[in-house]
Amino acid sequence: MFLAVFQRRLSVYEMLWQVLPCPESKAKGNDTMKKTLAIILAVVLVLGLAACDSSGTTSQNNNPSGSGNNSSNPSTNSTGDNQPSGNESGADNTSQSGNNAEAAKLTGKMNIINLDDRDPSVLRGVTIKGVNTGSYDGINGKEPSLTDVRCIFELNEWIEFYPDTDATYGLRVWILKHRDDQEYYNKAKFSDLDPNFANYCDLHYPEDEENPDEWYWGNFYLNMEECEPGYYDFVFTYEGKAIATLLTRFYKEGELSAKSDTELEALMHE
């Protein structure tokens, strides 16, 4: 736009320059006059372009709905169960320290969430195994239970789930940094965008395996480069609703490897 204005004004000034009288006898005087006039025309041209530029800038500033993005662009929360994300109250009620035993006490007992429409057959018990620590005749050989479940592991250790359930699909375990307020899970919506999120594991019947009744339903590990040692909640959900929780503790990689089953059992009941 500025170039077009410049070209139009320049053509006008060229016309004025051509029509100015310039007799040969007054060439010297006319040269001086033309120089003066050229300076005046140049000043007028610069001022005109500056005014035009100022007008264009003002117009853009007064029009915020132009080509720029005027949206606040809020992030969308995608959840594992197609539900709104976790901490609706905004409170961060967590206990993350590996030595914060006063805020969290390990018991190996599942906390069953009492829902009116809960079917007890969805989760009658569970066996949880850690592949790096403990023996399969000891701490990893427990029968499915709600009151005596392994709850100590290492970071970077694969953890396997063997649930006692009539459901073949729909079970999921969310691994979240421990919350002192366990009642929060009664109505919580779960999301991988939750600030307390560490991982999740879908549980389904391993029908494609050769011995499905002896095969794990799902497994996961916590990456030591992304997660800290400390207390975590295993939140068992069925079709998006929390049905049980288990308080667990994760140690540094290698910290439990040399311990016997007896020592591991003692750590499970702090």
109-148 pLDDT tens trace: 999 987 666 678 899 999 999 999 999 999 999 999 999 9
pLDDT computed for residue 197 by the predictor: 95
Higher pLDDT, 224 or 3: 224
Q: Is 95 helix (H, G, I), strand (E, B) or coil?
A: coil
Beta partners for 34?
Answer: none
Distance CA 63, CA 57 (A): 10
Tokens 């288990």: give the residue: 246
Cα angle at 206 between 226 and 217, to 5 degrees?
Answer: 35
Amino acid occupying residue 18: Q
The pLDDT value given to residue 186: 87
The whole-number average pLDDT for the span 226-232 is: 96
Q: What is the pLDDT confidence band of residue 69, given thresholds at 50, 70 and 90?
A: very low
Q: Is 260 helix (H, G, I), strand (E, B) or coil?
A: coil
**Which residue shows structure tokens 């996961």?**
220
Query: pLDDT per residue over 153-210, tens digit each?
Result: 999 999 999 999 999 999 999 999 999 988 899 888 899 899 999 999 999 999 988 8
Q: Reply yes or no on whether the pLDDT at 29 is more than 70.
A: no
Angstrom distance (rounded) from CA 22 to CA 171: 98
Amino acid at 259: K
The encoded tokens of residue 100 equal: 């914060």
Q: How far is CA 253 from the centre of its chain?
A: 25
Strands 152-154 and 241-251: parallel
Query: Which residues lie below 8 Å from residue 186, measured CB to CB, with a gap of 6+?
Result: 113, 115, 242
The dihedral region occupied by 82, where left means phi > 0, alpha psi between -120 and 50, and beta the remainder, is: left
Residue 256 Ramachandran class (φ > 0 left, ψ -120 to 50 alpha, else beta): alpha
Helix axes 2-19, 27-61, angle to 10 degrees: 160
Task: Using the predicted structure, report yes or no on whether residue 75 has a pLDDT greater than 90.
Answer: no
Which range, 11-15, 31-35, 64-68, is most confident? 31-35
The two three-digit tokens of residue 140, written as one number:
């990893």
155 CA to centre of own chain: 21
> CA-to-CA distance for 15 and 250, rounded, in angstroms?
87
Strand partners, 129: 160
Band of residue 48 on the pLDDT scale cut at 50, 70, 90: low
* Average pLDDT for the chain: 77
> DSSP 3-state assignment of 176?
strand
Tell me the percentage of the chain whose pLDDT exceeds 70. 61
Q: Is the dihedral of CA 87, 88, 90, 91 positive or negative?
A: negative
Q: For the chain, percent helix, then strand, then coil, each to nearest 5?
A: 30, 20, 50
More confident residue, 147 or 49: 147
